[in-house]
Structure 1
Amino acid sequence: MSVFRVSSRYAKSLVDLSIEKGVLEGVREDMNRLLAIGTSNKEFVSAIKSPVIKGDKKLKVLKALFPNGNELTLAFFDILSKKGRESLLLDIAKAFVNLYNEHRGIQVAEVTTTFAMDDKQREEFKKIVKQISNKQEVELIEKVNKDIIGGFVLKVGDRQLDESLNSKLNALRLQFSQNLYEKHI
């Protein structure tokens, strides 16, 4: 079975069980923390995915990282360890966050600009994302990239609105490179 399919099934089970037990928010915090650790610490990712390191050692590392973790999260780590699925942990966490957002009606959008946005600009982007997605709650991920020269790039799900000067200059460059006219001699 594919990694996506397996991780989606585990994530769905974890979401359903955490809703049933009334600990959805606590498990979400643990999954977000796990993703943050995975993003910032490449050694952790290597250790979790390593076939050489035994499952019980991986479980000890996870429990050490989550001393105040939710009981359901820790039990979930135990199950993954017994099944030998620790290498899927970060994929499961990503799938869990996606399912959580879907359950709560949250649309995640990524905005890339050349500068840090203020509250007014943030609210304008949220308004645009609400119109595009028909969801009432929006979570903006803000990125600063000087290479886009000016404007912005907005990603909502699988859609992308690229209003950066860099993309407009590239489009002009492409247009000028096509010689639509012949020279008359």
Structure 2
Amino acid sequence: MKTNRDAWCSMSSIRYAKVLFDLGLSREETDRAERIVEETPEVVRVLHNPVVTKEEKHTVIDRIFDVRIRNFFKVVTDCGKADAIPEIFRAYHQYRDQMAGIVTAHLAYVVPPTQEQKAGMERFICRELHAAGVIWEMEERPDLIGGFRLLVNGREYDYSMQGRLKRLEQKLTRR
């Protein structure tokens, strides 16, 4: 199964994300800072540039970001991790969802599920993993032949024809 490389985060980014979460900032504050980073990638380049002095970087941070998040960016920049800021925000969202009991489910399908089927899968996921909610990542996969494959928290539920044929082949070749 193809993995989502965008979801992968380094351990240092995860640690910074936990610190960012522990700051107790509002969703608006973190979203505003993330939007600045996304819309102006030059900010990250300047903050990561070794030619720019520490004082100049701090001045840029003071001019651009809100008061409550400035020190976080200063520490990240001073530690030479400014290039990881987008990844830190990605890890922050994952950690925030985890703390809220929300899991991400990757659904690979041949035919898109109906709302009723999707609601049933969501109830199953919430019951099995004691989750409060589900964020869906949907992927159309004609190679599954039929059915679907669900991946949640490292657990795979394969109800595809491709998976069934593969299991049947394994049973027949073991004898």
TM-score (norm 2): 0.68
Are residues 101 and 146 of structure 1, via their aligned partners in 2, closer, same or farther at CA, if it must alter by over 3 Å? same
What's the CA shift for 1:146?
0.9
Are residues 12 and 5 of structure 1, via their aligned partners in 2, closer, same or farther at CA, if it must alter by over 3 Å? same
Q: Distance in 2 between matches of 1:164 and 1:109?
A: 16
Equivalent residue, structure 2, for 1:120: 116
Q: Kindly indicate whether residue 27 of structure 2 is the aligned counterpart of residue 15 of structure 1.
A: no
Q: Is the 8 A contact 1:116 1:144 kept in 2?
A: yes
Q: Kindly indicate whether residue 173 of structure 2 is the aligned counterpart of residue 170 of structure 1.
A: no
Q: Distance in 2 between matches of 1:26 and 1:121?
A: 36
**Over 4 Å off, 4+ runs:** 28-31, 53-56, 69-75
Are residues 141 and 72 of structure 1, via their aligned partners in 2, closer, same or farther at CA, if it must alter by over 3 Å? farther
Q: Distance in 2 between matches of 1:14 and 1:85?
A: 14
Give deviations 1:78-104, integer Å, cap 9, x for gaps. 442232102333442232122201222
Q: Is the 8 A contact 1:112 1:142 kept in 2?
A: yes
RMSD: 3.4
Give deviations 1:146-168, integer Å, cap 9, x for gaps. 11111111111121111111111
Unaligned runs of 5+ in 2: 1-8
Q: Is the 8 A contact 1:152 1:164 kept in 2?
A: yes
Q: Kindly indicate whether residue 142 of structure 2 is the aligned counterpart of residue 136 of structure 1.
A: no
The one of 18, 25, 30 aligned to 1:27:
30
Partner letter of residue 27 of structure 1? T
Q: Matched residue of 2:105: which SS?
A: strand
The one of 104, 115, 123 aligned to 1:108:
104
Q: Distance in 2 between matches of 1:146 and 1:166?
A: 10
Q: Matched residue of 1:98: which SS?
A: helix
Q: Matched residue of 1:135: which SS?
A: coil
Equivalent residue, structure 1, for 2:93: 97
Equivalent residue, structure 2, for 1:40: none
TM-score (norm 1): 0.65
Equivalent residue, structure 2, for 1:183: none
Q: Is the 8 A contact 1:27 1:72 kept in 2?
A: no
Identity of aligned residues (%): 21
Aligned length, in residue pairs: 153
Partner letter of residue 20 of structure 2? L
